[in-house]
Amino acid sequence: MVSSEGLCGSQAPIAAPVTQYGVTKPISMAGPTAADIQRSRDLEKFLVQAGLYESKEEASKREEVLGQIQEIVTNWVKQLTRLRGYTDQMVEDAKAVIFTFGSYRLGVHGPGSDIDALCVGPSYVSREEDFFFVLHNILAEREEVTELQPVPDAHVPVLRFKFSGIPIDLLYASISHLVVPHDLDISDISVLYNVDEPTVRSLNGCRVADQILKLVPNVEHFRTTLRCLKFWAKRRGVYSNVTGFLGGVNWALLVARICQLYPNAAPSMLVSRFFRVFTQWRWPNPVMLCAIEEDRLGFSVWDPRKNPRDRTHHMPIITPAYPCMNSSYNVSTSTLRVMMEQFQYGNNVCENIELNKAKWSALFEPYLFFQSYTNYLQVDILAADADDLRSWKGWVESRLRQLTLMIERDTYGKLQCHPYAQDYVDASKPCAHCAFFMGLQRKHGEIVQEGQQFDIRGSVDEFRHSISMYMFWKPGMEIYVSHVRRKQLPAYVYPDGCKRSRNLHLTPQQPSYKISRNNGVAYQAESGEKCLKRKKDPDGENSEQSRLDKRRSPDRNQSVSPEIVSRKLGSACTGCSTSDLDEMNRLAEANTSSNSSGISSCSHEDIGNESTAGSSEGSNVGDDNPSSSQSDSSDDLKSSVEDEHADQNKVFQDGLLKDLEVLD
């Protein structure tokens, strides 16, 4: 029997140990307030109204499609087993197993989104011949299958197609089993025995997705937060792994880390804390959900101590399954800059939401890319038909990131590029066509000197050469790279087809640039005052009459010009009329002439410190701190993230890590 004296003793109660998720202790264990719960309800209501959740009918159709694909690949493996002379019992036992990963496996897919799937087969069924040839032909004969596109030379080889209208990305992995067990545990490291690197990459999509779901404290809160932030990233133009931003797995890992740092937080809190943490994150310190497993089977793991290439990564986001890799190696200095600006935008809006000064809709205002820069590179992609365009566009898009890196390298980082993740189509052309755009601006704070030039002719030529290496090139596949000013952007990039005016005034103190008329692209700085004088000179080379003369008499010998550098990789597009191609050439020459004349009458905007119209929407943040859940103070944030950085000292040189700056 316990006496009342024992219950009232002087000993302080022992605090319950704090559960640790990931590599550090949480920043805060605080739960939501009533206001946080209401904001979470408002957020979920907004996401539903935005159409981010699929209907029960579509969910049922996806399950039906996956079942049909499972049946197809099982019959495919049985057929190959019989042809290779195995016993009847082996044929009966033979099977392939379909696993899902990506947004579908994580439970954050929406209407119309694709299904990432992995087919795991036995050791005697190969990827090169059996998957990309035999299975490809089987799928091609199915009436449910459309837009079948094999990509065998990709970093992760994939078959892309639509099955009954649902997009499928199908990978293949041959494991060291004669018979694939129906209850195969793909998270077990034994599946990696005696397989090659492409197979490891194919398997790791599923292994990473399973680990993420195991490492977050609340799966439903994780899913709501991830669904929100993926939608935000698409609206703000920073959702695209191929162009150097972040893809689905990257966003999932970042959100999962925030869930670990705030294990009891509601979705509205997690969204806010996401921006609060990552606006202050000291890249290239890595984001990790768990400790990096040491090399166990001979595969390379992310380790800057041993791998010099890993030291060049700008935004390491490490996968949690062996072999641990950096999932965001495509990020460049320019795309990291853009993302940090967008994180700050999100942080500002979320602070206003917590102060009841804004609603959730403000967070998802679209980024006004075509109002944010004065100068752009336009990459036009043409092909004979839609099928050719699909493969040609995929190849060019996968190389756009290289163009960004080449320009950064050749201008020593002084000219910054912002590749836009969305492609645009000129529906008026009979040719299959799409276009990508890239914003250009001088690095903020860069001192401008008289006569300074940014010559990117070599960068564009190198990019064109890399594009010309396409193994599956066909006649009609062409690419045009041109420089356009904002006022010369085509109407099809605007939602309503109308260009939006933007009044900017030139001041003598602001630098300006022009495009030189050499046979390439070069940007030259001049003073605004000098530019104004030239614009007012009626007899100068930049007078209105001079510009008209230039437009009337374009130099045909300079059709490959400073403002348009075209690469015709074959003969005329067979699916296009001759007049349409002539129109393209005329437009190219017209742009050359108008760009040269227009830009020579320079304004303060040319490749200067562009005004950030696209990133300044929404309310500004006041000096007040957010009113809810203040128990996770700035000191807690600083202390916890410093602890996390200290834990990662093993993979960084001493002195690399710095304290995280915390907003007041």
Q: In the predicted model, what is the mean pLDDT of residues 419-438?
A: 92
CA distance 149 to 143: 15
CATH classification at residue 157: 3.30.460.10
Structure confidence at residue 246 (pLDDT): 97
- Both 402 and 347 in one domain: the answer is no
- Both 298 and 318 in one domain: the answer is yes
Q: In the predicted model, what is the mean pLDDT of residues 283-310?
A: 91
- Both 354 and 394 in one domain: the answer is no
CA distance 414 to 608: 11
Count how many domains the chain has. Answer: 3
pLDDT tens string 234-260:
999 999 999 999 999 999 999 999 999
Q: Is residue 291 part of a domain?
A: yes
- Picking from 341, 338, 430, the residue whose alpha carbon sits closest to that of residue 382 is 430
pLDDT band at 431 (very low <50, low <70, confident <90, very high): confident
Q: How far lies 575's CA from each of 48, 396, 425, 476, 567, in Å? A: 42, 20, 16, 8, 18
User: Does the annotation list 245 as a binding residue?
Assistant: no
Q: In the predicted model, what is the mean pLDDT of residues 40-65?
A: 96
- Both 209 and 241 in one domain: the answer is no
User: Does the annotation list 130 as a binding residue?
Assistant: no
- Both 351 and 386 in one domain: the answer is no
DSSP 562-601: SSEEEE--SSS-TTS-HHHHHHHHHHHHHHHHHHHHHHHS
pLDDT tens string 588-604:
333 333 333 222 223 33
Across the chain, mean pLDDT equals 78
User: Does the annotation list 248 as a binding residue?
Assistant: yes
My answer on whether omega of the bond before 267 falls inside 30° of 0, hence cis, is: no
Q: What residue type is assigned to position 110 of the chain?
A: G
Percent of the chain with pLDDT over 90: 62
User: Does the annotation list 42 as a binding residue?
Assistant: no
With a cut of 60, say whether residue 273 has pLDDT above it. yes
Chosen domain end from 466, 485, 504: 485
Where is pLDDT greater, at 660 or 208?
A: 208
pLDDT band at 345 (very low <50, low <70, confident <90, very high): very high
Q: Which residue range(s) make up the domain with 143? A: 53-213
User: Does the annotation list 169 as a binding residue?
Assistant: yes
pLDDT band at 164 (very low <50, low <70, confident <90, very high): very high
- Both 378 and 354 in one domain: the answer is no
pLDDT band at 211 (very low <50, low <70, confident <90, very high): very high
pLDDT tens string 357-386:
999 999 999 999 999 999 999 999 999 999
pLDDT tens string 449-486:
766 678 888 999 999 999 999 988 999 999 999 999 99
List of residues 6+ apart from 232 with CB closer than 8 A: 346, 363, 364
- Both 222 and 350 in one domain: the answer is yes
Q: Is residue 320 part of a domain?
A: yes
Where is pLDDT greater, at 148 or 628?
A: 148
User: Does the annotation list 540 as a binding residue?
Assistant: no
With a cut of 90, say whether residue 166 has pLDDT above it. yes
Structure confidence at residue 445 (pLDDT): 78
Two tokens, residue 634: 């700035």
With a cut of 90, say whether residue 556 has pLDDT above it. no
User: Does the annotation list 114 as a binding residue?
Assistant: yes
Q: Is residue 69 part of a domain?
A: yes
Two tokens, residue 272: 């806010």
Structure confidence at residue 124 (pLDDT): 96
With a cut of 70, say whether residue 544 has pLDDT above it. no
pLDDT band at 535 (very low <50, low <70, confident <90, very high): very low
With a cut of 70, say whether residue 606 has pLDDT above it. no
Q: Is residue 527 part of a domain?
A: no
- Picking from 508, 486, 520, the residue whose alpha carbon sits closest to that of residue 599 is 486
CATH classification at residue 404: 3.30.70.590
Backbone angles phi, psi at 568, to 5 degrees: -95, 105
Chosen domain end from 213, 228, 260: 213
Sign of CA dihedral 644, 647, 653, 658: positive
Q: In the predicted model, what is the mean pLDDT of residues 101-109?
A: 97
Q: Is 248 exposed, middle or buried (0-12, 13-18, 19+ CB in 10 A)?
A: buried
- Both 359 and 385 in one domain: the answer is no
pLDDT band at 516 (very low <50, low <70, confident <90, very high): very low
User: Does the annotation list 72 as a binding residue?
Assistant: no
- Both 260 and 380 in one domain: the answer is no
- Both 363 and 373 in one domain: the answer is no
pLDDT band at 155 (very low <50, low <70, confident <90, very high): confident
Residues carrying an active site annotation: 103, 114, 116, 169, 230, 239
- Both 162 and 222 in one domain: the answer is no
Q: In the predicted model, what is the mean pLDDT of residues 284-295?
A: 92
pLDDT band at 496 (very low <50, low <70, confident <90, very high): low
Q: Is residue 552 part of a domain?
A: no
User: Does the annotation list 249 as a binding residue?
Assistant: yes
pTM of the predicted model as reported, rounded to 2 decimal places:
0.76
Q: Is residue 509 part of a domain?
A: no
- Both 202 and 227 in one domain: the answer is no
